[in-house]
């Protein structure tokens, strides 16, 4: 039986696309979502072994290969949990205000992501961002200061494991703990909802991001990402 991850029942829809997980099968199922959902792509993860069931999907090219990182959400992580609670209950940390996504934030968020080197996809429009925030209450965080957006972090949960998206920090605010602060808040909120594990995706040439995630307790998973435009 294949160890490939795929499922039409367990799907996490982000602003960028669906992620599929956990099912073994012989042929690729027809799981394209309705066009009204405005989903541009579909992603799967598979162990690093050949399989004919992924032939409908394209592996990312060598210069854009995704690397999946994952971390077990241990209930005994007291230090990180307390740090998250402090960040959660504090409206401000110095001059940085942390709040959740609001309607009307879309344009500023997209401009911030572009300036941070994040590619804007069709699923990053206002409607999709608002839908993501509605499906994941308390997990779409923004940090703002007197210059505007200083950082973003998005969290999602499909009922089985969590995902982190678009954790980005403005250049002048990096290495001051702001990104880690947002991540801790999302981790704690996921943990409180019963989430056992969180995953994220990093470009394989983004050494700074890999260093950040490893410093925050994440380990590299032994999977390869595939995606398919819908």
Q: pLDDT tens digits for 79-137?
A: 444 444 444 433 344 589 999 999 999 999 999 999 999 999 888 999 999 999 999 99
223/62: higher pLDDT: 223
Q: List, in sequence order, every residue forming a beta bridge with 44; answer none if it has no partner.
A: 20, 226
Distance of alpha carbon 44 from alpha carbon 121, whole angstroms:
18
Pairing between strand 41-47 and 18-20?
Answer: parallel
**Tokens read off for 168:** 């980005």
Distance of alpha carbon 157 from alpha carbon 136, whole angstroms:
7
> Quick check: helix, strand or coil at residue 225?
strand
Q: pLDDT tens digits for 29-76?
A: 343 444 444 555 555 565 555 454 445 555 544 333 334 455 665 544
pTM of the full predicted structure? 0.66
Contact, 101 vs 112, CB < 8 A?
Answer: no
Distance of alpha carbon 109 from alpha carbon 150, whole angstroms:
10
Of the pLDDT bands very low, low, confident and very high (cuts 50, 70, 90), residue 174 is: very high
Mean pLDDT score across all residues of the chain: 74
Taking phi first (over 0 means left), then psi (-120 to 50 degrees means alpha), and beta for anything else, what does residue 114 get? alpha
User: Which of 16-30, 41-55, 128-142, 199-213 has the highest mean predicted lDDT (pLDDT)?
Assistant: 128-142
Percent of the chain with pLDDT over 90: 50
Strand order across the beta sheet in which 96-100 lies:
92-93, 96-100, 140-145, 148-157, 162-169, 197-203, 66-72, 219-220
CB-based burial of residue 94 (10 Å sphere; 0-12 exposed, 13-18 middle, 19+ buried)? exposed
Q: Which domains does the chain have, with CATH numbers?
A: 74-201 (3.40.630.30)
| Per-position DSSP letters for 17-61, written without gaps between them | -EEE-----SS----PPPGGG---EEEEEEESS--GGGTTSEEPP
CB-based burial of residue 144 (10 Å sphere; 0-12 exposed, 13-18 middle, 19+ buried)? middle
Q: How far is CA 119 from CA 62, 122, 171, in A?
A: 17, 10, 17
């Amino acid at each position: 039986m294949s160890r490939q991850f795929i499922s039409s029942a367990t799907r996490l829809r982000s602003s960028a696309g669906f992620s599929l997980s956990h099912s073994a099968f012989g042929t690729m199922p027809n799981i394209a979502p309705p066009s009204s959902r405005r989903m541009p792509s579909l992603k799967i993860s598979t162990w690093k072994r050949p399989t004919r069931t992924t032939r409908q999907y394209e592996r990312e090219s060598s210069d854009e290969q995704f690397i999946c990182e994952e971390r077990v959400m241990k209930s005994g992580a007291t230090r990180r949990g307390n740090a998250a609670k402090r960040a959660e209950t504090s409206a401000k940390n110095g001059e940085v205000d942390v709040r959740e996504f609001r309607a009307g934030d879309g344009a500023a968020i997209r401009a911030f992501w572009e300036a941070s080197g994040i590619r804007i996809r069709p699923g990053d429009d206002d409607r999709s961002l608002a839908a993501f925030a509605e499906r994941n209450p308390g997990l779409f965080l923004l940090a703002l200061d007197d210059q505007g957006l200083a950082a973003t972090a998005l969290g999602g949960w499909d009922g089985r494991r969590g995902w982190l998206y678009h954790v980005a920090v403005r250049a002048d605010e990096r290495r001051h703990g702001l990104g880690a602060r947002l991540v801790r808040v999302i981790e704690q909120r996921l943990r409180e909802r019963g989430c056992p594990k969180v995953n994220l995706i990093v470009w394989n040439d983004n050494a700074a991001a890999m260093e950040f995630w490893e410093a925050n307790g994440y380990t590299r998973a032994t999977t390869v990402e595939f995606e398919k435009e819908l």
